[in-house]
Structure 1
């Protein structure tokens, strides 16, 4: 059975990025090694370090 994804909010803070400061909600799966959560900006290609669980309403 496939593991359920975790819903996370990710925000790129790379200077000059066209989506800098914009938060996206994405489904993520944990990595076996640290860091557990890894994301890369689809616009600038830089690693995103602002990865937090999404609030569930």
Structure 2
């Protein structure tokens, strides 16, 4: 594996946008970490707002 390749981790992302139909609902999905230390970014598929709650999947 090339050291420049991003790491893919399974993470639990939960929407915390008030009023969103997915508010408080966690979804497990693969996330790519850029750069080191890992930073994960994702957006809610329902409301389109960025996730503020992304943690390692159980």
TM-score by length of 2: 0.79
Rounded Cα–Cα distance in structure 1 between residues aligned with 2:54 and 2:11: 7
Q: Which ranges in structure 1 are unaligned for 5 or more consecutive residues?
A: none
Partner of 1:50 in structure 2?
A: 53
Q: Which ranges in structure 2 are unaligned for 5 or more consecutive residues?
A: none
| 1:22 and 2:8 correspond | no
Q: How many residues align?
A: 55
Task: Rate the CA distance shift 1:26–1:12 in 2: closer, same or farther, 3 A.
Answer: same
User: How large is the Cα RMSD of the aligned pairs?
Assistant: 2.3
| 1:40 and 2:43 correspond | yes
SS in structure 2 of the partner of residue 51 of structure 1? strand
TM-score by length of 1: 0.80
